[in-house]
Amino acid sequence: MNILIYLNQKNNYLSDYSKELLNIASNLTKNKDFNIYLVSLYSESLKNLKDDLKNWNIKKIFFILNKDNYYIYPTKISHILTSLKKDLDIDIIIMGNSLFELDIAPYLSMRLEFDYIPNISSFFLENNQIIFDRLIYGTKALEKSTYNLKNLVCIFNNNINKNQPWKIHANKYNNIPIDFINYKSNENILYELKNQVLKKQKKHPLETSKIVIGVGKGIQNPENFQLIENLANILGAGIGVTRSVVDHGWRPEYEKIGQTGKIIKPDLYIAIGLSGAMQHVAGVKQARHILSINNNPNAEIFKYSDLGIVGDLFEIIPKLITYLNHL
Amino acid sequence: MKIIVIANETFPTDQNLTLENINEKKILNPYDEFAIQKASEIKNHKNDEIIIFMISKSDNLYCLKTCLGLGGTSGNLIIFKGNNPKDLAAILVKEIKKQGTFDLILTGEQDVNNPRGDIPYMINSLLDVPLISHCLDIHYSNNKLICKKETDDFLEEISINLPCIISFRKNVYEPKYPSINDIMSINEKPIFLNYYNKSENNLYLKLKIYNVKRQNKIYKNIDSDKAVKKISTYLDEWGLNGGLYEYINLFKSKK
């Protein structure tokens, strides 16, 4: 069995999400004769990852070199992956759920005539088959689907597998060989890039933060976000917002949590000044703990909370910040 | 200009889901509704056409008529009871080809209730027409379409020639309601019904309602000092990295 993992790795340390994907691949191939191949866009910092990667049984790493800094088209990456599949006789392709990978995966599944399974929240192996769990209907329902361990392109959500290094009983490959693939010039240009604006980079991205603070219209104005940012800095938390905050133009669209925004799975979700509309709760239902502060005792969010405080956020949050600062 | 909008009907996002009502209530998928609004904005000549392809599991015309009220000039109801996306994409491509040439295909990126998002890519692959995905907005000028696209790190502005396919990752914030004139005109617009046989994936599918039980410890009428105490005690008890104190200090040392 051969598995190809596409790593959307940008830093010089192996991200938790990349470790999860490697663990998932190792889990899938447990007790089987298997090979894991890695493919990633090349950057200088990735060279340092080679030692980290020794924790997994990786047969070979392929780096895609973009020497001339061309605009990367996902379709072109899927062409590269298609030829790798043919050369290596790949059975399963595993990817993360970044927008870039969501661009590559469905196109790839079409080209290879593989089944495409996105937003997988857990999986089980049973009699040479694999059962995938996907949360659908805004996390109101769980879909279980069974496939053979063959011809699959899988997109796994964050936080489904422990990110600790996989226990290796016998590392078959001490020195992982590396191969380079050139990203060729963009002949047949599909579209032209006119302008590019960097998104406001967050210290703690929503998808990977252990603690996320959700903020609703109760914050009253954009200036009051400073209060939330102070709390987030102490807790190392990501900040997400409800649709009404985005509607008011207080925060960008990509910070929205909910059925039509980001669906997250933190250890702790702190809901501040938000009512708890069904569409918003869909985005945080998988949180391990939900704590909410709202001055309306009838707010829906209390139904979904482990701990709820009926009170004024402008009184409670400053005091909480002071308390945490003195810990 | 000939614009094709592919739309889907779906379960209302503000309703409680049960296994009984899952196929009863339907609304227009909010991502597709945004595509229809954009199509209406781009349509500037009287002769421009907006052809709606509504994917449905029944022959209920409610969502298709909503699309026609919002600016569609003709409607095609694709009645497909299967669950195989590849079959659905092939059906859509077959129907699109029946329309002859087209300038633009607009659609929502995904069904709000099933975030697969693969249909636009499949149509792109089968028709060999370029696709701009994760689009937030479009406008048309000088025979070119300018698209605002979201990527992992950037917001990009892209220019593309027609014909092309656009899939939107933005949904409708402020629903537009058809005017009385638009509503009156719906019955004059042509509607075509296309039935397709049920096809199934080989895979075995099972669906169950997903619920999480919460502790629901709600404290009313307490002052802010007590509230802070309740929060800190709770956080300490469930032990993130061995307790709140350890967590905060671990985080401080990381900083």
A119 interface with B at CB cutoff 8 Å? yes
**Which residues in chain B have Cβ-Cβ distances shorter than 8 Å to A307?**
215, 217-219, 230-231, 234
Query: How many angstroms away from the CA of B217 is the closest CA of chain A?
Result: 5
- Measured CA to CA in angstroms, residue B176 lies from A18, A235, B28, B144, B182 at distances of 43, 41, 13, 26, 12
Cis peptide before B163 (omega within 30 of 0): yes
- Spatial neighbors of A164 by CB under 8 A, at least 6 apart, are A19, A23
User: Length of chain B in residues, anyone?
Assistant: 255
Q: How many domains does chain A have?
A: 2
Q: Is residue A196 part of a domain?
A: no
List strand residue ranges (DSSP E) for B98-221, in order. Answer: 104-108, 131-141, 144-150, 154-161, 164-168, 191-196, 204-209, 217-219
CB contact at 8 A, A320 and B231: yes
**CA–CA dist B102, B10 (Å, integer):** 26
pLDDT for the residue numbered B51: 95
Q: Would the CB atoms of B115 and A136 count as touching at under 8 Å? A: yes
Question: Average of pLDDT values for B120-131?
Answer: 92
Testing the interface with B: which of A196, A203, A263 to mutate, by most B Cβ within 10 A? A196
Query: How many angstroms away from the CA of A84 is the closest CA of chain B?
Result: 19
Strand partners, A145: A132, B205
Q: Is residue A201 part of a domain?
A: no
Neighbours of A315 (CB within 10 A): 16
**CA–CA dist A236, A231 (Å, integer):** 8
B212 interface with A at CB cutoff 8 Å? yes
Residue B71 has pLDDT above 50, yes or no: yes
Q: Would the CB atoms of B225 and A319 count as touching at under 8 Å? A: yes
**Which residues in chain B have Cβ-Cβ distances shorter than 8 Å to A286?**
212
**Which residues in chain A have Cβ-Cβ distances shorter than 8 Å to B240?**
210-211, 267-268
pLDDT for the residue numbered A309: 94
Same domain, A15 and A116: yes
Same domain, A178 and A321: no
**CA–CA dist A256, A240 (Å, integer):** 6
Same domain, A217 and A133: no
A277 interface with B at CB cutoff 8 Å? yes
Residue B111 DSSP label: B
Superfamily of domain B2-196: HUPs (3.40.50.620)
CB contact at 8 A, A216 and A182: no
Q: CA of B229: which chain A residue's CA is closest?
A: A320
Note down the domain range covering A236.
211-325
CB contact at 8 A, B155 and B16: no
**CA–CA dist A209, A288 (Å, integer):** 13
Report the residue from A136, A247, A327 with minimal CB separation from B248. A327
pLDDT for the residue numbered B198: 65
Contacts 24+ apart (CB under 8 A), B13-21: B13/A138, B13/A259, B13/A260, B13/A278, B13/A279, B13/A282, B13/B112, B13/B113, B14/A277, B14/A278, B14/A279, B15/A278, B16/A140, B17/A137, B17/A140, B17/A141, B17/B209, B18/B209, B19/B207, B19/B208, B19/B209
A198 interface with B at CB cutoff 8 Å? yes
Query: How many angstroms away from the CA of B116 is the closest CA of chain A?
Result: 6
Q: State the CATH number of the domain containing residue A275.
A: 3.40.50.1220
Q: Would the CB atoms of A138 and B248 count as touching at under 8 Å? A: no
CB contact at 8 A, A90 and A37: yes
- Spatial neighbors of B179 by CB under 8 A, at least 6 apart, are none
B17 interface with A at CB cutoff 8 Å? yes
Q: Would the CB atoms of B231 and A291 count as touching at under 8 Å? A: yes
Strand partners, A58: A36
**Which residues in chain B have Cβ-Cβ distances shorter than 8 Å to A256?**
none
- Of chain B, the percentage scoring pLDDT greater than 70 comes to 90
Identify which of B197, B194, B171 has the alpha carbon closest to the alpha carbon of residue B81. Answer: B197
Q: State the CATH number of the domain containing residue A58.
A: 3.40.50.620
- Residue with token string 């709770």: B234
Q: Which of A182, A202, A237 is the last residue of a domain?
A: A182
pLDDT for the residue numbered B91: 94
Using CB atoms within 10 A of its CB, is residue B245 exposed (0-12), middle (13-18) or buried (19+)?
A: middle
pLDDT for the residue numbered B241: 47
Q: Which of A182, A198, A225 is the last residue of a domain?
A: A182
Report the residue from B15, B159, B204 with minimal CB separation from A145. B204
Q: What is the H or E stretch that residue B118 is in?
A: none
Q: How many CB pairs (< 8 A) connect A and B? A: 224
Same domain, A6 and A154: yes
Strands B2-10 and A307-310: unpaired
Same domain, A216 and A132: no
Q: Would the CB atoms of B240 and A210 count as touching at under 8 Å? A: yes
Q: CA of B15: which chain A residue's CA is closest?
A: A278
Same domain, A109 and A40: yes
Q: Is residue A195 part of a domain?
A: no
Q: Would the CB atoms of B216 and A308 count as touching at under 8 Å? A: yes
Q: Three-state SS for B14? A: coil
Query: How many angstroms away from the CA of A174 is the closest CA of chain B?
Result: 31
**Which residues in chain B have Cβ-Cβ distances shorter than 8 Å to A79?**
none
**CA–CA dist B169, A254 (Å, integer):** 10
Same domain, A6 and A133: yes
Q: What is the H or E stretch that residue A318 is in?
A: helix A313-325
Q: Is residue A297 part of a domain?
A: yes
Q: Indicate the domain borders of chain B.
A: 2-196, 210-255
**Which residues in chain A have Cβ-Cβ distances shorter than 8 Å to B249?**
327
**Which residues in chain A have Cβ-Cβ distances shorter than 8 Å to B230?**
307, 309
List strand residue ranges (DSSP E) for chain A, in order. Answer: 2-7, 35-41, 58-65, 92-95, 115-126, 129-136, 141-148, 152-156, 178-182, 192-198, 211-215, 238-241, 268-272, 289-294, 307-310
Provide the residue type at B17 as one letter: L
B26-55 residues touching A, CB cutoff 8 A = 30-31
Q: What is the pLDDT along chain A (327 residues), one digit of tens a residue?
A: 899 999 887 776 777 788 888 888 888 877 677 788 999 888 776 667 777 787 788 888 898 988 888 888 888 898 899 999 999 999 999 999 889 999 999 999 998 999 999 999 888 888 888 899 999 988 889 999 899 888 999 999 877 766 566 665 555 666 788 888 888 765 667 788 889 998 877 777 888 888 899 999 999 999 999 999 999 988 888 999 999 999 899 998 889 999 888 888 888 899 999 999 999 999 999 888 999 999 999 999 999 999 999 999 999 999 999 988 887
Same domain, A159 and A259: no
What angle do helix axes B244-254 and A225-235 make, rounded to 10 degrees?
A: 90
Same domain, A15 and A125: yes
pLDDT for the residue numbered A199: 84
Same domain, A154 and A278: no
Same domain, A78 and A25: yes
User: Length of chain A in residues, anyone?
Assistant: 327
**Left if phi > 0, otherwise alpha if psi is -120 to 50, otherwise beta: which for A301?**
alpha
**Which residues in chain B have Cβ-Cβ distances shorter than 8 Å to A41?**
none
Strands B104-108 and B164-168: parallel
Query: How many angstroms away from the CA of B103 is the closest CA of chain A?
Result: 15
Looking from the CA of A323 toward its CB, the CA atoms found within 13 Å total 19
- Spatial neighbors of A144 by CB under 8 A, at least 6 apart, are A131, A132, A133, B205, B206, B207, B208
Q: What is the pLDDT of residues A110-160, one digit of tens each?
A: 989 999 999 998 888 888 888 999 999 888 899 998 998 889 999 998 777
Same domain, A7 and A135: yes
CB contact burial B114-128 (16+ within 10 A = b; e otherwise): bbbbbbbbbbbbbbe
Identify which of B161, B64, B41, B216 has the alpha carbon closest to the alpha carbon of residue A300. Answer: B216
**CA–CA dist A183, A67 (Å, integer):** 8
pLDDT for the residue numbered B234: 85
